[in-house]
Structure 1
Amino acid sequence: MARFLNWLSSLLINFMINIFKSGPIPKHIAIIMDGNRRYGRKQKISLHEAYTKGFESLTNSVKWFDKLGVNEITVYAFSMDNFKRTEAEVTLLMDLFEEKFTDYLNEESIIMRKKVRVKIFGKLSALPTRVQTAASKLVIATKENNSSILNICLAYSGREEITNAFQLIVNDIQSQTLSKEEINEKLISQYMYSNGTSNNPEILIRTSGEVRLSDFLLWQTSFTSLYMIDILWPEWNIWSFLFNILIDYQRNQKQLRILYS
């Protein structure tokens, strides 16, 4: 019975995805994956179980977005500010990052099966060496994957990203490999963590009901549509996206086309 219900659910999801694909699909989606701790308290489960469930939501999102035709996902996995949490929680998260990055290397993982290229953005030197190593292996192993891109922001701060970009620009001006006259928005984007290889996201989603950017993609989201939804990240599913976000996005895109036609 359970197998039949899973098959029926998968059939319905694929049917709905095909319907929504007849409308405009954002090419790049950014997500602040918020609400894992509150989910743990709500369900009366351990932090480890709550964060593990959050990783499952990320894995499922990669699968759904691939079917929809989304080319790029950028997720806020761990901010610089998160280092202020308890030592036990930070250690737990570092253990999970190392474990999941290693799991993603498996040929049967969603990352490998869907040919997803993984990039890691942030101040990686702030992470434990073991996490840096696992992240580097994953980035190298998926470098030739060309189906879609998953950007994982770790030890990340939007303000620090912008500061770092300007420090690099100053260094290049001082070394005379760059002139002040060349500085413009496009050039500054090339000095961000993505090195100008990423398009700005059309949609930014924050789960848990919070309505802050929390220092995430401050440079890249100037014209991004923001969706702050009252769903905890581990509860996030394809229906949350289709009916809370995508249907609104497609309606707005249709209105814009009419307005500017």
Structure 2
Amino acid sequence: MSWIREGELTIIERFCANIIKAGPMPKHVAFIMDGNRRYAQKCHVERQQGHSQGFDKLAQTLRWCLNLGIREVTVYAFSIENFKRSKEEVDGLMDLARQKFSRLLEERENLKKHGVCIRVLGDLPLLPLDIQELIAQAVMATRNYNKCFLNVCFAYTSRHEISNAVREMAWGVEQGLLEPSDVSESLLDKCLYTSNSPDPDLLIRTSGEVRLSDFLLWQTSHSCLVFQSVLWPEYSFWNLCEAILRFQLNYNALQLFLEEDGREGVRSSPFLSGSAPQDAGSVGAPNPRSSNPAPGAEGTAPLRAAE
């Protein structure tokens, strides 16, 4: 399955999409793609098949987002906590990652056609070296595309991301590159894996779970959170429309919160400022302490991952 499924909306879907787009639209949507294992159990298939179906649904959802004019999507593909699952399941997920990133490199012309920039966010040295290499190639191959952005959170948790940012600032002070007074919320913001992206306007979690599972905790403080009971492989265009409608119903309240909070910088909300992500395709900031980087990613901060 391609990373972006080809195909257009049906007449009814286009009609509904046009109605929805008449209102305020989220520019950045984050997904916790939950329910692959329960879907496999429900359908009496192997867990690996459930995860594979989940990737196919991601490809379809990306197409819907493009049709709706959603410019940036962030997905929780693999949590650091997922390493605690059975060796069989973890190995299966790593094999799936190998297949999909290899496929991405084969279809780079399709990504170029749509202008899709791929970013991978997480602590990549935790991954097998061959996967690190594939990810580095994929990021470099799409780094100059800027029509839309797909952030894949892989080997990621928000607490790990924040603690890494704090270590970066502490190292800067220790090396004399920063004064203690330079340390601020704004600086921490810029040390996060997501520093090149605006905060998500809308976060969607499937499967009926009502928690964030250590995903984008810092970035979603003013996002609209939508929890839907549908299992991820069964997600539909209408589920996405429902989530966007709920965002629109809460838009004025979200706008008020943002104005009161007054957060500024490169990651200010795009539906208020219209700002585009900076340095599209950047794999990270200089980090001389990064260990075991993949070839082609030497001297960069760890790239940036779900359940």
TM-score scaled to structure 2, two decimals?
A: 0.77
Which residue pairs with 1:4 in the alignment? none
Report the CA distance between 1:11 and its aligned residue: 2.8
For residues 102 and 148 of structure 1, the distance between their equivalents in structure 2, rounded to whole angstroms, comes to: 21
Report the CA distance between 1:106 and its aligned residue: 2.9
**3-state SS, counterpart of residue 233 of structure 2:** helix
Task: Identify which of 242, 250, 274 aligns with 1:252.
Answer: 250
| Equivalent runs, 1:102-121 vs 2, <5 Å | 102-107=102-107, 111-121=111-121
Higher helix share: 1
Report the CA distance between 1:109 and its aligned residue: 7.2
- Residues 14 and 125 (structure 1), Cα distance of their counterparts in 2 relative to 1, 3 Å cut: same
- Residues 109 and 30 (structure 1), Cα distance of their counterparts in 2 relative to 1, 3 Å cut: farther
Which residue pairs with 2:238 in the alignment? 239
Residue-pair matches, total: 253
**3-state SS, counterpart of residue 137 of structure 1:** helix
Which residue pairs with 1:71 in the alignment? 71
Structure 2: gaps (5+ residues): 1-6, 260-307
> Does the CA-based 8 Å contact 2:226-2:246 persist in structure 1?
no
For residues 166 and 100 of structure 1, the distance between their equivalents in structure 2, rounded to whole angstroms, comes to: 32
- Residues 178 and 105 (structure 1), Cα distance of their counterparts in 2 relative to 1, 3 Å cut: same
For residues 39 and 214 of structure 1, the distance between their equivalents in structure 2, rounded to whole angstroms, comes to: 19
Q: Which stretches of structure 1, 4 residues or longer, exceed 4 Å deviation after superposition?
A: 254-260
Which residue pairs with 1:226 in the alignment? 225
TM-score scaled to structure 1, two decimals?
A: 0.90
Report the CA distance between 1:160 and its aligned residue: 0.8
RMSD between superposed Cα atoms in Å: 2.2
Q: Deviations over 1:2-48 (max 9, x none)?
A: xxxxx896332222212211111111111111000000011112222
Report the residue type matching 1:242 in the other structure: C
| Equivalent runs, 1:102-141 vs 2, <5 Å | 102-107=102-107, 111-141=111-141
Which residue pairs with 1:159 in the alignment? 159
> Does the CA-based 8 Å contact 1:59-1:110 persist in structure 2?
no
Which residue pairs with 1:3 in the alignment? none
For residues 138 and 256 of structure 1, the distance between their equivalents in structure 2, rounded to whole angstroms, comes to: 35
- Residues 164 and 70 (structure 1), Cα distance of their counterparts in 2 relative to 1, 3 Å cut: same
Report the CA distance between 1:256 and its aligned residue: 6.6
Report the residue type matching 2:84 in the other structure: K
| Equivalent runs, 1:21-100 vs 2, <5 Å | 21-100=21-100
Structure 1: gaps (5+ residues): 1-6
- Residues 155 and 257 (structure 1), Cα distance of their counterparts in 2 relative to 1, 3 Å cut: closer
Report the CA distance between 1:123 and its aligned residue: 0.9
**3-state SS, counterpart of residue 189 of structure 1:** helix
Report the CA distance between 1:164 and its aligned residue: 0.4
